[in-house]
Amino acid sequence: MTAGTERPEMEGYEQARTAAAYEIHAPRGVLTVEGPDAIGFLQGILTNDIAGLPAGRVCYSAWLTPQGRMQTDMYVLRGPDGAWLDLEPAYAPDVAKRLDLSLFNEQLTLTDRTSATHAITIHGPDALDTAARAIEKQGADASQVRAMEPFAYVSVTIGASPVVAYTASWLGMGALRLLSDAGTVDGLAGTLAAQGVSRLSSTAAKALRIEAGTPLFGVDMTTDTIPLEAGIESRAISMTKGCYVGQEVIVRILHRGHGRVVRRLVGLVIDPGDPPLAGTPIFSASQEVGVVTSAAWSPALGQAIALGYVHRDSGEPGTHVRIGSADGPNARVQHPPLV
């Protein structure tokens, strides 16, 4: 297999890198927190600076336990009277329950909109124009979408259905996510397909995500993960805001421990061999030093790649490790992006 060759299951891979391709999320985990105390409540529990986020803007954040371990990650869409929280759907019901248990006397309304919310994400350098053309084909005004900046959101209406659109990056490239009801999302997907836009296969999306080095909660991050281990602190944690749940642990690691944690999530470029399964051990000499969390075939490299946690002594770029056993396939540690 030569570099750049696209396997059949990699539908949409090249289109996402060069133009646009779309994914459907059915459903998508969405919680809304609205009311006079909504922003103050979120400010006190989430790792990023929600109070300092202007209305109409978006940030990535995490919610930690008092021990500094992750309960979830999410994108926060700041509105004038609250926020939308976009997270992995499998975790939304539990997160909603835990948020509700965290309330004291705050004046706010917490709503789990997951069952009623689907999403379509358009990835690639042409994401905004591609989405705007599809919205216009549905008879709606897309001028706000065309003008969107990174990490911003707008509301549009398609037919009688409200749509929340926001920009972020999940696969190492610009992207636009549209949140709405199932019928509206299906209609947009049909319009995109009719316009020749490729649907991004799950295999291709996984490859792009690992190439970018973006960890996925529930796969590369769990409730045992400290954000510093996953390397998300620059995106998810404000170093200037006031107190939040788990802050004491994070500050202690950063200041007293100089940011040193026992293990780190790294990228791995594997040669030779197929992508290893999640949970495959990683070895340095005869010693097990880590574990693979996700892996894929990279068409751009023509090699298997992976994300995995390794002991900090084996985490420097250029370090060679073995996959599966002490004499398994060779892999080179590389800090993301891998392509």
Identify the structural domains of the chain with CATH numbers, from first to last: 13-26+117-210 (3.30.1360.120), 29-115 (3.30.70.1400), 262-339 (2.40.30.110)
Judge whether residue 132 has pLDDT over 70. Answer: yes
Spatial distance between the Cα atoms of 14 and 4, rounded to a whole number of angstroms? 9
Confidence label for 246 from pLDDT (cuts 50, 70 and 90): very high
Tell me, letter by letter, the H, E, C secondary structure of the chain. Answer: CCCCCCCCCCCCHHHHHHCCEEEEECCCEEEEEECCCHHHHHHHHECCCCCCCCCCEEEEEEEECCCCCEEEEEEEEEECCEEEEEECHHHHHHHHHHHHHHCCCCCCEEEECHHHCEEEEEECCCHHHHHHHHHHHCCCCCHHHHCCCCCEEEEEEECCEEEEEEEECCCCCCEEEEEECHHHHHHHHHHHHHCCCEECCHHHHHHHHHHHCCCCECCCECCCCCHHHHCCHHHHCCCCCCCCCCHHHHHHHHHHCCCCCCEEEEEEEEECCCCCCCCCEEEECCEEEEEEEEEEEECCCCEEEEEEEEEHHHCCCCCEEEECCCCCCEEEEECCCCC
Q: For the ranges 135-149, 245-259, 261-275, 322-336, which has the lowest average pLDDT? A: 245-259
Share of the chain above pLDDT 90, in %: 94
Mean pLDDT throughout 294-312? 97
Over residues 6-18, the pLDDT tens digits come to 444 899 999 999 9
Spatial distance between the Cα atoms of 88 and 13, rounded to a whole number of angstroms? 22
Confidence label for 3 from pLDDT (cuts 50, 70 and 90): very low
Spatial distance between the Cα atoms of 311 and 257, rounded to a whole number of angstroms? 16
Over residues 136-173, the pLDDT tens digits come to 999 999 999 999 999 999 999 999 999 999 999 999 99
Q: Please give the pLDDT value at position 6.
A: 42
Judge whether residue 298 has pLDDT over 80. Answer: yes
Question: How many other β-carbons are positioned within 10 Å of the β-carbon of residue 335?
Answer: 15
Over residues 187-232, the pLDDT tens digits come to 999 999 999 999 999 999 999 999 999 999 999 999 999 999 999 9
Mean pLDDT in the chain? 95
